[in-house]
């Protein structure tokens, strides 16, 4: 399936970024994540491939900071896609390699001219342990 040029350009940009980036299309299908994201998510994109919305929203066992499962509607990428507004949240995931990580995620929608929805982007990073 061909993608709009804007998504292709975001994929190209993501390849040169040192910060992890995760890209979904308007249906919520994960269409790409970059090399920096591979380290956090626990699997190379080439091995994982595209993932439908239902798969990636459950594959990483997302939990809040108290260890309770996080509702998918609280995920910044889901909020950005559905509400068409930027969103940010800190939570814990279990990567595809089985490692648990606390991450912070900032997501924003991608729109073309005429407010045509192209998808959404999440930038994320492992969160430093808080010290008092």
Question: Structural domain boundaries of the chain?
Answer: 5-126
What pLDDT is attached to residue 1?
57
3-state SS string over the chain? CCCCHHHHHHHHHHHCCCCCEEEECCCCCEEEECHHHHHHHCCCHHHHCCECHHHHHHHCCCECCCCCECCHHHCHHHHHHHHCCCEEEEEEEECCCCCEEEEEEEEEEEEEHHHEEEEEEEEEEECCCCCC
Is pLDDT above 70 for 130?
Answer: no
Select 5-126's CATH number: 3.40.50.720, 2.30.30.90, 3.30.420.40, 3.30.450.20. Answer: 3.30.450.20
Mean pLDDT, rounded, of the chain: 92
pLDDT band at 129 (very low <50, low <70, confident <90, very high): low
Q: Does residue 32 surpass a pLDDT of 90? A: yes
Q: Is the pTM of this model over 0.85?
A: yes
The pLDDT value given to residue 108: 97
Average pLDDT over residues 12-30: 94
């Amino acid at each position: 399936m061909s993608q709009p040029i804007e998504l292709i350009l975001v994929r190209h940009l993501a390849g040169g970024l040192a910060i992890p980036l995760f890209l979904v299309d308007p249906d919520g299908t994960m269409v790409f994540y970059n090399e920096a994201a591979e380290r956090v998510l626990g699997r190379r994109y080439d091995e994982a491939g595209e993932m439908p919305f239902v798969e990636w929203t459950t594959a990483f066992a997302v939990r809040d900071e108290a260890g309770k499962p996080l509702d998918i509607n609280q995920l910044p990428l889901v909020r950005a896609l559905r509400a068409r507004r930027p969103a940010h949240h800190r939570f814990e995931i279990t990567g595809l390699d089985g490692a648990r990580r606390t991450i912070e995620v900032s997501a924003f929608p991608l729109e073309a001219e005429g407010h045509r929805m192209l998808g959404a982007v999440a930038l994320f990073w492992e969160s430093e342990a808080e010290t008092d």
